[in-house]
Amino acid sequence: MNMTKVLRSLGPIDIRNIRRDSLVAWMIYIPILMALFARFGIPPLTSRLLEQYNFDLTTYYPVLLSYFFIGLCPMVFGSVIGFLLLDEKDDRTLTALQVTPMPLSSYLIYRVSVPIILTILMFFIVFPLANLNTFNAPMILVCGIAAAPMAPMLALLLASIADNKIQGFALMKLIGVFLLAPIFAYFVTSNWELVFGLLPTYWPLKVYWMLSAGESNVWLYVVIAVVYQLLVTVFFARRFYKVLHQ
């Protein structure tokens, strides 16, 4: 089935369902709010810390922004899509879908591609809005390519493990811990940093840190980030497919 037709069929339904669910709808604005905080809150805080405690917060801008945006943006869109999947699973919409002309494979491709596109587009909004780094459009795009696969990975993780939206919210909090864990790699100066590479969320953060530091060989880490996250996404997609057929 043509993906344009899938988008036209499911897109308006998704928008209506998101608007209808206040618990999910507000999440979309989190990256914007974080960007506004970064723009108007962090500079005064930086000046105050430097003046009173001689502590230069600018040194830690890369780790702060990597969590605010590289981790948070895909998590938001991944969670939104994950909750949509849970609703559709509860309503048995996905069961009914299997007897329609739309193949389940086209549906899953739609569910994977939409959060990827939305994450990349959001990067082009939040980074200029925050105005705390000198990233140009190509650098933002590189960050988007590295981080965007995290969104469908988290969405399918939620949908394949949680039985309902309540469990989904609890699982989302646990996922937040995994997002936070690789942040500590920023402070590791030895090869032990690569231990955090066991978590797929580490690699997009590493790409951002390397770009912030002006390091080379960034594309190697981008490739690892994309491939690793897509492999995990495929794993949870297969698990989700099995759950639907139980």
**Positive/negative CA dihedral, 92, 166, 67, 72:** positive
pLDDT at 48: 93
Across 192-208, b (16+ Cβ under 10 Å) vs e yields ebeebbebbbbbbbbbb
Q: Residue 30 above 80 pLDDT?
A: yes
Residue type, 28: I
Averaged over 48-53, what is the pLDDT? 92
Identify whether the C-beta of residue 107 lies closer than 8 Å to the C-beta of residue 66: no
Residue listed under structure tokens 């499911």? 10
Instruction: Convert the pLDDT of each residue in 131-146 to its tens digit.
Output: 888 889 999 999 999 9
User: Does the pLDDT of residue 122 top 90, yes or no?
Assistant: yes
pLDDT of residue 35: 93
Higher pLDDT, 120 or 26: 120
Q: Which two tokens stand for residue 194?
A: 């690569």
- CB neighbour class for 175 (10 Å; exposed up to 12, middle 13-18, buried from 19): buried
pLDDT band, residue 160 (cuts 50/70/90): confident
- Average pLDDT on 7-33 reads 79
Helix, strand, or coil here: 107?
helix
Q: What are phi and psi of 11, to 5 degrees?
A: -55, -55
The span from the CA of 58 to the CA of 201, in Å, is 23
Q: Which residues contact 10 (CB under 8 A, 6 or more apart)?
A: 107, 110
Q: What is the DSSP letter of 200?
A: T
SS3 for 1?
coil
* pLDDT recorded at residue 201: 92
Q: What is the mean pLDDT of residues 93-108?
A: 67
Give the pLDDT of residue 203.
94
pLDDT in the model for residue 245 = 67
Query: Is the pLDDT confidence value at 27 over 70?
Result: yes
Give me the pLDDT at residue 92, please.
67
Phi-psi region of 92 (alpha: psi -120 to 50; beta: other; left: phi over 0): left
pLDDT at 222: 96
Mean per-residue pLDDT of the chain? 86
Tens digit of each residue's pLDDT (9 = 90 or more) over 171-184: 888 887 777 788 88
pLDDT, position 169: 83
Residue 90 contacts residue 164 (beta carbons within 8 Å): yes
**What does the pLDDT average to over 9-13?**
72
Confidence of residue 223 (pLDDT cuts 50, 70, 90): very high
CA 155 to chain centre: 9
Helix axes 72-90, 3-20, angle to 10 degrees: 90
Backbone angles phi, psi at 167, to 5 degrees: -65, -35
Give the per-residue pLDDT at 176.
79
pLDDT of 241:
80
Identify the pLDDT of residue 210: 93
Residue where the block lists tokens 């699982």: 171
pLDDT in tens, 173-220: 888 777 778 888 988 877 888 889 999 999 999 999 999 988 888 999
